[in-house]
Every structure is written in C-alpha cells, then in structure tokens.
Structure 1
Amino acid sequence: MTAVLAVSLTACGGDGDGKSEGAGGKGRVTIRIAYQEIPNADLVVKDRKLLEQALPDADVKWVKFDSGGDVNTAVIAGSVDFGLAGSSPVTKGLSAPLNIPYKVLWIHDLIGDNEALVARGGITDIKQLAGKKVATPFGSTAHYSLLAALQGAGVDPAKVNVIDLQPQDALAAWKRGDIDAAYTWTPTLGELEKDGKVLVTSRQLADQGKRTADLGVVTNKFAKDHPEVVTAWLKAEDQAVKLAKTDPAQAAASIAKQLNISPADAETQLKQLVLLDAAEQAGADYLGTPGAPGKLAQNLHDAAVFLKSQQKIDAVPDPSVFTAALAAEELSRARG
C-alpha cells in the first residue's frame, strides 16, 4: 500500500483552534477528530495511523462519540476539529437553531443494511408500533430513518413512544425488556437481530428516496487555518477506501481491532455499507466539483424539509446553505 505523503507542520498561537503553543510562539498542530464505532474506512485510517504518518509533526487525537448529535455538541463546544456525523445530524447542524459553521468534506459511507428497525414480541409490521416503546438516538440518521419509516407506513410518530437512547443503552433496555423496538446501527444491530425481527433497513428506505449517509465534517475555521491538514486528511480517507475496495480482508482486520470483533464479522459489516473513493465523491450525485456542486446538497435540503415537518428544526435553510457547505474545492485540491 502506498504511503500517504508526509506533510511538515508548524503553527502559531494557542487560541483553542487546534493549535498548541511551543517555544517562541511556534507549536505543533493538534488535530482533534471525533469518530464513531462504525465499520467504515475511517476506522482503517485510525487503526493504520494513516493521518499520523502523513502529518508526523502534528498531534492527532481521536475521540470516540456515540452519535452524530453528540459530535455536533462537541463541535459547538469547540472541542473537536473534524467529525463523523450522519446526514441527519449534519442537516440539523447546518439549520437553525444550531447553525454550526462547518462544511462537509467527505462521505464516509452510504448507509445500507447496517442501520435497521428491529422489533420483538411478535411485532412483524411497522403499523404495529403504535403505542409501543421504540428507542433510537435522537438527531441521528437512525432517528431520521425511523420517522421516515413511520410516515411511510402511515403511522403518526406522536402515537409511538419514541425514546432517546444511544446504541449501547438501547441494547441494555432491550435485554431488560424495557423497549419493544429500536432503530440503530451495527455492531449493536447485530445483537438485536439475534432475537428480534428486522422491519425495515436504511437500504430499503434509500430505495424509497430517503437516503442517509455518514459524513465527514470540518469546522470552517480549521479548514481556513490549516488547508494542508484538510488535504492530508482527505488523502488518508481516500487511501483507506481504496484499500477496503481492493483488499477488504485487510481493511476488515483493522476494523475488527477497533471494534473488538472477529475479522469475519468486520468484513460482513463492511459489506453492508457503500464506500466511495475521492473520484466517485467528486461525481454529480455526491459532492461534485468547484462550480458544479453535487446532489448531496439537495439530499440535505430534502432532509431539512422532512425534519421541519417533524418539528426537529426551526426552519428549512435556503438551498444555498447546503451548497455552500459542500467542500468540493477542498476535495478537488486533495485529488491533485
């Protein structure tokens, strides 16, 4: 595997924007990355230390979060520079009242069979969820998909007792018998499937026009101050995706170590996602190119319309907000 080109970095200042002071005002750049335990190529970048190899003069800090909503909170608090969040929390982040100043750099994956709605107790149809307790992390892609699934089945979400639980908390509640169903993702999903029934997957909802994805974001300030870091980050993610495509067993081995699961299970979970390399992401259906933004902006706007209908955001932003948030220029620069 070709090594990522190493970049030497120095920075001035210490104002909480990812830089650390050193002698004479010079210091090492600190890169704070919010990640989630999702079996995609981001875990390959982390496990194989691709970014650390590319940026030997930087301090790379990986911080685990349980959902995109939590990542948004961390970005607002100024505690992370890069983050992985689902398309639903990113849509919320770009909308009022949050209005987070970040941009979409990368599509970590198109969500498929790795997110699903699972029920127990003889529930075999979404319509049967009326009056039942259903867990999902609020503000996540799973939450968006749950609302879309209920709406598609003609079930008023107000008639379902939807409760806010992170994946591991949902699993614990499931084992106690406290909930009837959950919309969540792997690896927790795999545990629920052992004694539950899948009612719908995010891949099926995507086929119905409700596509979701896991996105990579970077704060506008960090992207402006450290364009060389953004380029290195994009190249590392692209390298990891290409490894997953050409040698999935190697990629799965890294994912398995990060998730503490078997390589076989990791490879199965990896196959449930759709991964795109940089060239594919520059296509018209995704991020696009400078001057020709991709359809991802429209997907995010459509999600905002839906979220507003469910009173999850204050107002639907103008489509230009989502267009401006696509980092097509940064992606183009990274592709060389």
Structure 2
Amino acid sequence: MNLSRREFHRAAANMLIASSAGGLLMGAASPLFAQQARQVRLGTFGAIDAQNYIRAKNRSAATFGPGVDSEFVTVRAGSEVISAMAGGSLDMCNVGSSPMMVGYANGLQASMVYVYKNIVDSECLAVQGNSGITDVAGLKGKRIGLPFNTSVHFAAVAALRSAGLGLKDVQLINMRSDQIVSAWQRREIDASYIWVPVLPRLVDDGGKIIFKTGDLNKQKLVIFDGLLVRNEFKEKSPDLVLAFLKDYEKLARTFKEEPKEVVDTMTRFLNVDEAAVMRSLNTFYPVPAREQLTSAWMGKPGEKDTGVLNTLQTQAQFLLEAGQITAMPKDLAALVDSSFVARMAA
C-alpha cells in the first residue's frame, strides 16, 4: 500500500499514540515519530501563477525543502483570501491591494511582504467601439461596468478623478467579471474597467482601450498585487516565506525568458488554450527584490514615504468614502513588511 505524505504522518502519529497508551515505548521516541511535518498552505486563483506552476511541475520540495507538506487552496476572489486567512486556513496568497486593505482595516493579522506583480496593462478601461469616446473625460454620463471593491474599482475612480470627473458624473455598475461580457454584448454598458482574460473579449467585440492602469504611475500611484502572509505563520516559519519568495523570483524569470515551456506546462495543467496563457505572460510584470527595496515601491524596512504606502493611503481613503471601511487604519506602515525583500537584496 502506498501512502501519501499526509497519510503517512497521520499513521505515524496514530502509532505513536497507541504505543504510548500501551506502555510499549521505551525511552525517547525517534525523531521520525516525535517531529510532525511542517505545513504551508498556499492560495491560488486557479490562474497562470507561480503557485500553479509549482503544482504543475510537482516542485514543492524544491521550493520549500524536504519535510514540508504543501497544500494548495483555490480561491475565487480577494475576499475569500481575507476570510480564509482570518479563519487560519490559509498562510500565503497573492491578492489585490483593495481587499488587502479592507482586511487590514477590519483587524486581519497579516502582512504584505512582497510585490507579487506590477499591474500595467492587464487591467484597462475599454469603451464600446461605436461610442465616439476617445478619453476618460468623455465618459461623463456613461455606464461603466466593473466589479466593486477590487483593484479595477480603485483604478477607475483614480482615472476619473485624473480627468476631472467625480462619482456623480458617471454611473458605476457593480458586476462580477463573468457578467461583463454578456452585458457588453447586449450594449447595457458603455464601458468597462476589467482585467485579462475578460478584457481581450471586449476588444474582440469592437472595444477600444482608452486607459491602462499603468497610466496611474504618472500620479505616483502603483497598482499591484501583493503577497499577503498571516503574521502567525510569518513569525513561526519565516524560512518558508523566504524560500517561496526566492523561488518566486526564479519562476518569474522563467515566465519571461522561457514562455514556450510555461505555455506547454500551463495549457496542460489548467486545460486552457495557448493564447490565454500567452496573454497572461505578456501582461505579467514582476518587480525584482532590489527594485522593491527602493522608495518607488516598498522601500527599506521602516521607510514611510514609499510608493506602496502612498498608494495604500490613497486606497484607504477611497474605501472609506465608498463605505467599505468604517475608519482609516491608524498605522498603515504595519501592513507592509519589507524585511524579507531586504534579505533577498542583500
């Protein structure tokens, strides 16, 4: 009979208990029975990400070392990441800054330890091709479909403000990402701020992109996904957090330098077409640890005037005005922990 790693450790634990109860153990238990396997629970959105690549290549041991039990938890939204971490059933996951901020404002004991990716052109504002709209200012009085309390919601509001428009000047309609294409095809919305892979379907249906999230960099706003880690896990197993980050940087280079290998692996593992994988790879912008340590991003440990913190401050204010949080967090700096990035860049 072949046992999985988890079944093996469960059986070993049961044998130890039975032996102890029967008085059969003589002296100290051997290390095999006395030491439980370490565990890390990684979240994945079921997308083209490092976590799924690790699963597809069966390389958990290469990432974390031997004797670590890796469990992958599939999530569908940032809110699920926050709920799972609050319940103690998820240790690490990439998540947008908006749900991250909502969780932190509501007392979630977790830290952002790394910029998972820079969002540049994977999230954009598209308008109907026959609308005659050529810039953001032209959206006045128009209907914009997008999922609320997400990175695109925040980016949309920032884009509108950059064009001199407020929330009363447009009609923002809360839609799940899987509802947007049908609403677009029925012409129920004039525009949508949304991400890949929904975005290309709007463009294929005549849509025109008039604003990219990366355009917000001109306002010193950096929109990103961060790697969020439960504080308890971070404090108990900092070596596993660092191990994942180091391997992530290797995988990020693989994604950019060996796209054919990644396409072959992920199309088989996720059962998606090659074009979908290539779209994800072409809009994937990792930020090396050395760059993250600059003030444009996370900055050095203890640094306060950074791109990440400035963006989080702006986002918290937006969430407060939108009624998604009830008060501004007192210390946003406690959410950002750049100590791991500092160790990687040393």
Q: TM-score range by the shorter chain?
A: 0.7 to 0.9
Provide Cα deviations, 1:115-170, integer angstroms capped at 9, x if missing partner.
Answer: 01122263324345445442222211111011112222233324533233332232
Residue 46 of structure 1: CA displacement?
Answer: 4.3
**8 Å Cα contact 2:43-2:51 kept in structure 1:** no
Kindly indicate whether residue 225 of structure 2 is the aligned counterpart of residue 217 of structure 1.
Answer: no
Residue 264 of structure 1: CA displacement?
Answer: 5.2
Structure 1: segments with no counterpart, 5+ residues: 1-8, 15-20
**8 Å Cα contact 1:86-1:214 kept in structure 2:** yes
Q: Which amino acid aligns with 1:113?
A: D
**8 Å Cα contact 2:78-2:96 kept in structure 1:** yes
2:89 pairs with one of 71, 79, 82: 79
Q: Which amino acid aligns with 1:109?
A: K
> 1:125-204, aligned counterparts within 5 Å?
125-195=135-205, 196-204=207-215
Query: Hey, what does 1:287 align to over in structure 2?
Result: 298
**8 Å Cα contact 1:69-1:139 kept in structure 2:** no
CA distance in 1, matches of 2:109, 2:232: 8
Residue 100 of structure 1: CA displacement?
Answer: 1.6
Kindly indicate whether residue 314 of structure 2 is the aligned counterpart of residue 302 of structure 1.
Answer: yes
Residue 255 of structure 1: CA displacement?
Answer: 4.7
CA distance in 1, matches of 2:216, 2:167: 17
Residue 292 of structure 1: CA displacement?
Answer: 4.4
1:101 pairs with one of 97, 109, 112: 109
The alignment partner of 1:105 has SS state of strand
Q: What is the percent sequence identity of the aligned residues?
A: 26
CA distance in 2, matches of 1:92, 1:188: 25
The alignment partner of 2:102 has SS state of helix
Is 172-181 or 78-87 further displaced after alignment? 172-181
Kindly indicate whether residue 63 of structure 2 is the aligned counterpart of residue 54 of structure 1.
Answer: yes
Do the aligned partners of residues 210 and 65 (structure 1) sit closer, same or farther apart at CA in structure 2, a change above 3 Å counting? Answer: same
The alignment partner of 2:148 has SS state of coil
The alignment partner of 2:229 has SS state of strand
Q: Which amino acid aligns with 2:117?
A: D
Is 34-43 or 228-237 further displaced after alignment? 34-43
1:228 pairs with one of 229, 239, 252: 239
Query: Hey, what does 1:28 align to over in structure 2?
Result: 37
Q: If the length of structure 2 is used for normalisation, what is the TM-score?
A: 0.78
Do the aligned partners of residues 121 and 271 (structure 1) sit closer, same or farther apart at CA in structure 2, a change above 3 Å counting? Answer: closer
* Aligned-pair Cα RMSD in Å: 3.1
Residue 240 of structure 1: CA displacement?
Answer: 0.9
**8 Å Cα contact 2:222-2:307 kept in structure 1:** no
Q: Which amino acid aligns with 2:57?
A: R
> 1:227-246, aligned counterparts within 5 Å?
227-246=238-257
Kindly indicate whether residue 128 of structure 2 is the aligned counterpart of residue 117 of structure 1.
Answer: no
Do the aligned partners of residues 42 and 136 (structure 1) sit closer, same or farther apart at CA in structure 2, a change above 3 Å counting? Answer: farther
